[in-house]
A and B are shown apart, each in its own frame.
Chain A
Amino acid sequence: MVIATEIPILDEQSITETLRTKNIEIDLFITAIKEKVGYDLSGYARASIKRRIEQLVIDENVTCIAELIPKLLYSKECQANYINRLTVNVSELFRHPNSFLSLRKSVLPYLESFPRRDIWIAGCATGEEAYSMAILLEEVGLLNNTQIHATDINTEVLKQAKTGILTKGLNKDDAARYQASGGTSSLSNYFSTAYNKHKLSQHLLDHISFSHHNILQDKVFCSAQLVMCRNVMIYFDLNTQNSALALFHNSLVQNGYLVIGEKESLINSPLINLLKTIDEPAKIYQRKSSANV
């Protein structure tokens, strides 16, 4: 039987003091990044950015957030890689199959009416979403004359995404999500395998461009019939989410579509009035034409 260790309960004053100090450190670190590297993280949701910064403290083997600041200021290497390590890049093929299924049924038939199509995937991480979109378009015969513009702030993941190689192998869960997304073939048909790595077929990859773009500081990336931005805005605070949504809205052609993450919501956004709900559980919305606003 292990004897319970006594947990020191901090008195209220030292707790407030510790939390206050940590908050100052976070603000200073964020300011340093902004001034030195040019990325403004001040609009990121506090709880998750804090955790990422604390993880950086552990990985860098320093004792507090403040100690990251000199590294950031004086090391070129740290400048390049801190920003990459502060973003969360987890993705997977056909994530939220319900959205893909609904896109297939409700949105793609509309895209068909355009002679050429542009799709913007903002916050593409390692590319799985863009790959899934290319597969979906191929299956409904719309891949020709479609360009998928996939963008992210993280230069490392973009490098990976461009190769077309999956970071993880293909597994049963991927296949199940593909089926649930309405897939009509076999997922492995779209990948070539060598040395245990799966690479998206070149003719699909040719329709995707991967570029660096910062949703919070850069302009509209392109004019698009469909904008997809999922599980990116969860990392922003409410105001910042609203600026991001305004950017996506501006990018959309009239009657163009917006897809957001499964657990994201437009309820607190003024944009809700400028968009029509196509499928709420699938999080698909349509830009109203100006006549209807």
Chain B
Amino acid sequence: MSDFRVFIGGSAGSIAPIKTILSSLPTDFNLIITLIIHSSGDNNTSMIEAIASCCTLTVIEISDKEIVKPNTIYLAPGGYHLYVENINSYSLSVDKKEHYCRPAIDLLFTSAAETFGKHCIAILLSGANEDGTEGLLNVKRHGGLTIVQSPELSQVSIMPKIAIERGAATKVLSPKEISHLLLEYND
């Protein structure tokens, strides 16, 4: 299992880029990926199926204190905030919504930044919200890598644009480029 961890946050219009990114990853991809996607309902079953159907890695919805296993993609459950509890586990909370969202990307990214520091790779995709920027800034401050989907290629460009304007992006990339970059980390 690599020391690097990948955190991907998205909102409206993020399922398509997520599929593009994940579909090119091999079964032995050894960076743990955590996905956090804003959704209206609390039931993620169909989203899990959609994501699982396009990639070779196992996709799991996170339970409280879930202990991470290699070659797996973890998805934040709806209705809960998600934090990185320590290097091998998560915790959940029903604290009030942030930016009208629970889960909020900022909270996950910030706890990931503090836990993984320079080994944290945070990716922000399409969305119509300002969630995520603060989290990316924290990842950056802690020496991690921050990637934002290019607004021109995002179905809804508000979230990427805000992040870029506030200086939160180390790199601005297309979904294809993001997956190439992730593959470079897979050794």
Contact = CB atoms under 8 A, between A and B. Distances in A.
A5 B80 CA distance: 32
A268 B77 contact: no
A38 interface: no
B64 A261 contact: yes
A7 B62 CA distance: 32
Contacts of B62: 263
A8 B138 CA distance: 10
A263 B77 contact: yes
Contacts of A263: 62-64, 77, 80, 92
Interface in A1-29: 1-2, 4-10, 12, 15, 19
A109 B176 CA distance: 56
B171 interface: no
A268 B88 CA distance: 14
B93 A48 contact: yes
Contact of A9 (B84, B85, B143): B143
B99 interface: no
A2 B64 contact: no
Given A9-B141, A10-B143, A265 B95 contact: no
Interface in B156-176: 164-168
Interface in B49-96: 62-67, 77, 80-81, 83-86, 89, 91-96
B118 interface: yes
A15 B144 CA distance: 12
B38 interface: no
Contacts of B141: 7-10, 15
Contacts of B95: 48, 51-52, 88, 90
Interface residues of B, number: 35
A5 B64 contact: no
Contact of A48 (B77, B91, B137, B140): B91
B111 A15 contact: no
Nearest to A10: B141
Contact of B107 (A12, A51, A237): A51
Contact of A46 (B67, B86, B107): B86
The B contact surface, by secondary structure, is mixed
Contacts of B107: 51
A241 B67 CA distance: 15
Interface stretch (A182-190, A198-206, A228-236): A228-236
A268 B143 contact: no
A45 interface: yes
Contacts of B63: 263-265, 267
Interface string B112-132: 001001100000000000000
A291 interface: no
Contact of A265 (B65, B111, B142): B65
A261 B65 CA distance: 13
A83 interface: no
A2 B89 CA distance: 38
Contacts of A52: 95
A194 interface: no
Given A45-B85, A234-B92, A4 B143 contact: no
Contacts of A10: 141-143
B94 to A, nearest CB: 5
Contacts of B137: 7
Contacts of B117: 12, 15
Contacts of A51: 83, 93, 95, 107
Interface string A47-64: 110011000000000000
A66 interface: no
Contacts of A4: 164-167
A51 B167 CA distance: 24
Contacts of B77: 263
Contacts of A37: none
Given A9-B141, A9-B143, A15-B143, A88 B93 contact: yes
9 contacts: A48-B81, A51-B93, A88-B93, A88-B95, A231-B94, A234-B80, A234-B93, A237-B85, A268-B65
Interface of A: 1-2, 4-10, 12, 15, 19, 45-48, 51-52, 88, 90, 231, 233-235, 237-238, 241, 261, 263-265, 267-268
